Structure 1
């Protein structure tokens, strides 16, 4: 138990701050659609084919102002979002009229908070650090539960420590951690798996990572340059004709040298906000190259597609969002107070007592 306690304290002292950041930003981002206060943000979602087709054609027609991607309005946010790359973007109403535009992600709090939560402002390196912190967080939950068991008779739940002394913080940390453990496992396991896909082998089977990679891989398309003018309306109409019951969720230009324009759709049975039902069109002439129906994906891949909605609170409405908010706030408290107690409230080292020499009586 002594070694386990030491590992728990020292790793928590170093990684607790990262976990606290992830918890607080996650708790805020769960509600991000609700605090985008812009004109038309509260508009009802429009999924009429000819309206989306006309908006897409309007936004993509001019190569000089064409965004790299469009994410269409959803049931919680009545705005389309444009991404121009390098942090630049815009929100438009569902007719394509710009209501807000920015040249840097720092102009929009929901964007830099998302980058902090997913990348620590450090791109792929930050994402890797977050994945490691998530795995470490699972270690903390397991070891913390083991360490709590020996003190279970003193359990007393408090939202905050009784005082900011080290013993009170340690006791609060221990008891809050055991209450929040199920939610923390859900948040940390889903988050870590989204960063490190091989973790999925632990709960979806040893062949899961390879199965997921193969199923979600885009088809091989022609390595062609993006044409100046494409039939954007025609591609949108073709996508809806192929999957008439699905929402049109996003349209993206080719990435790197793929030569494919991607349209993502969400069928009724899907939980993933932007769906996995996908169509790919050639970037030079707009012909259909391939299509993937999310309903045809294997059980393993379908289960993997549930991770992000569960992690980000994209299912279950306000009730589930509040549950994930509590998970994030608990992680924030556990992380910050563990760092505080480890670095600033460590017990003082006892002074070494030097034994006194016995006094010899005078005259002897």
Structure 2
């Protein structure tokens, strides 16, 4: 138990601040649609699901010379289209196609830099790897913390805040708050880590289907076509997609980055939890001909389990009640991580000097 305690404390002292940041930013991002709805005009507009209307606004947005690379379409919870422009720029547009606001970089929009901080620590793939390692440490903390708590279970006393800012009081609050929040912390850590590290995802998917089969089913198909037409027939493409999946909402449009790549649409079928869905269609950029389609509900069971990781992690299911639950999880992680660093580095017990014999 002594070695287990040392591992728990030292690892917490080293990565606690990263976990605290992840918890706090995650608790804020869970409510992103709500606070954007309060600050942006038309963000609360009802969703227009008419494919013809969507085709008209797509034509307007892409044809206005904004250099659009893709569109995240409005949803039930957020009534604005988000335009992805070159160079990290972007814009929000209402469902009639009028630009509501635009930005030149992510630093002009708090929801964008908060997302980048939470997922990448502002350092791209390197930061994502650090976040993944911290997530694995969080799983380790839950397991080792539960084992260590069991020895002192008779002294359990739930407190949201330490009785005093002394090391013993912080340790007691950390121990007892941690055991109460352990299931939610484990859910947050496992779902977050499996989106970063393939081996973790494979372990979670393995009981349901072969991880290799699931990865193959989710891999983008190898397709080729012509160069992007000057005026693509969006109405025909959207009508084809709607006829193929009549119960699905259009979620994203991605334009080809180089000649030969297809135009891709993501749709969300009614039974999908993932907010942007995994139902995909690919069209020839030159002719608008449908090249391939993938039904997310027909994917192997393991792939469907993987697709639940993000909505569970980001509270995109379950409504306000589950958002509040995951807010508590994020705030608990922020408190546990930051107090672990504080008590380890700044409230360590002083060793008494030995008396000379």
- 1:1-364 equivalences in 2 (<5 Å): 1-36=1-36, 37-62=39-64, 64-205=65-206, 208-222=210-224, 224-255=226-257, 259-355=261-357
Larger Rg belongs to = 1
TM-score (norm 1): 0.94
| Partner secondary structure for residue 43 of structure 1 | coil
Q: How much has 1:134 moved relative to structure 2?
A: 0.3
CA distance in 1, matches of 2:78, 2:313: 19
Could you list the per-position Cα deviations for residues 302-348 of structure 1 after superposition, in whole angstroms to 9, with x for gaps in the alignment? 11111111011000000000000000000000000000011111111
Task: Count residues in correspondence.
Answer: 354
Q: Secondary structure at the match of 1:195?
A: coil
* Unpaired segments ≥5 residues, structure 2: none
Quickly say closer, same or farther: Cα 1:153–1:114, change in 2 above 3 A. Answer: same
Using the alignment, how far apart are the partners of 2:258 and 2:330 within structure 1?
Answer: 35
Deviation at 1:213, TM superposition (A): 1.7
Q: 1:19-59, CA deviations, whole angstroms, 9 ceiling, x for partnerless residues?
A: 00110000000000000111101111111111111111111
C-alpha distance in 2 between matches for 1:258 and 1:272? 29
CA distance in 2, matches of 1:86, 1:208: 39
* C-alpha contact (below 8 Å) 1:59/1:66 kept by paired residues: no
Which SS does the other structure have where 1:285 is aligned? coil
CA RMSD of aligned residues (A): 1.4
Q: Which runs of 4+ in 1 moved over 6 A?
A: none
Unaligned 5+ residue runs, structure 1?
356-364
TM-score by length of 2: 0.96
| Deviations 1:184-204, CA, capped at 9 Å, x for gaps | 010000000011122123232
